């Protein structure tokens, strides 16, 4: 059962996302994004976007955080929330590819907290951000 995210946890994730955003490697877009992922065990996993001159290997901040957590030994579906920040007019929303990865690794109910440099905050869930997501039959059975 997923425990509810406290305001303190939200504020913490937003602060951490803002800090890691500064480490983004973005020589092509010059658009920095930061992400902070909280695991159910309380550990924090940070990500920034990392671009590449051949463009397609570019990794978004959200996926950097998720892949780091998985590589550190965290199981899929053991995450509590993710916060994302970028300098957008409205609070930034994850790209389609990240939504699909969030669906598989975090499940539909996990909160996604989105903000921008103006400090505006929006909150959603993975499932609300990706209705009708593709799910492998064996994954569906595991849910
Ligand atoms: N980007 C992210 O890291 N996360 C998002 O939610 C949206 C887009 C990155 C990809 C690329 O490095 C830059 O932002 C511009 O698209």
The string of pLDDT tens digits covering residues 69-83 is: 999 999 999 999 999
Distance between terminal CA atoms of the chain?
Answer: 12
CATH number at residue 69: 3.40.140.10
Count: domains in the chain: 1
Asked if residue 117 belongs to a domain, the reply is yes
Q: Whose CA is nearest to atom 1 of ligand 1?
A: 60
Asked if residue 137 belongs to a domain, the reply is no
Catalytically active residues are 62
Per DSSP, the residues of 10-66 read HHHHHHHHHHHHTT-B-TTT---EEEEEEETTS-EEEEE-B--TTSTT-B-HHHHHH
Question: Is 39 a residue whose pLDDT tops 80?
Answer: yes
What the block records as the tokens of 59 is 């990794």
Distances (CA, A) of 91 to 24, 135, 139: 18, 27, 31
Q: Whose CA is nearest to atom 9 of ligand 1?
A: 60
Asked if residue 118 belongs to a domain, the reply is yes
Asked if residue 72 belongs to a domain, the reply is yes
Among residues 18, 37, 11, the alpha carbon closest in space to that of 111 is found at: 37
Asked if residue 141 belongs to a domain, the reply is no
Position 107 scores a pLDDT of 96
CA of 88 to the centre of ligand 1 (A): 11
Asked if residue 64 belongs to a domain, the reply is yes
Asked if residue 143 belongs to a domain, the reply is no
Ligand 1, residues 95, 100, 114, 126: which to mutate, most atoms within 8 A of Cβ?
Answer: 95
Among residues 135, 133, 43, 31, the alpha carbon closest in space to that of 84 is found at: 31
61 touches ligand 1 (CB under 6 Å): yes
Q: What is the rounded average pLDDT of the residues 94-99? A: 98
Under DSSP, the state recorded for 123 is E
Label the pairing between strands 121-125 and 79-86: unpaired
Asked if residue 105 belongs to a domain, the reply is yes
In ligand 1, the atom with minimum distance to the C-alpha of 29 is 15
Domain, as residue range, for 51 = 7-130
pLDDT top residue among 65 and 142: 65
Ligand 1, residues 58, 59, 88, 91: which to mutate, most atoms within 8 A of Cβ?
Answer: 58
């Amino acid at each position: 059962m997923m425990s509810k995210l406290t305001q303190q946890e939200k504020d913490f994730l937003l602060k951490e996302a803002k800090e890691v955003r500064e480490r983004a490697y973005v020589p092509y877009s010059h658009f920095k994004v930061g992400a902070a992922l909280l695991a159910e065990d309380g550990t924090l996993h940070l990500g920034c976007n990392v671009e590449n001159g051949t463009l397609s290997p570019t990794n978004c901040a959200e996926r950097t955080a998720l892949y780091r957590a998985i590589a550190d030994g965290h199981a899929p579906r053991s995450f509590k929330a993710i916060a994302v920040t970028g300098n957008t007019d409205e609070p930034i929303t994850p790209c389609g590819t990240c939504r699909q990865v969030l669906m598989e690794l975090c499940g539909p109910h996990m909160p996604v907290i989105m903000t921008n440099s103006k400090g505006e905050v929006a909150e959603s869930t993975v499932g609300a951000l990706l209705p009708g997501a593709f799910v492998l039959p064996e994954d569906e059975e595991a849910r």
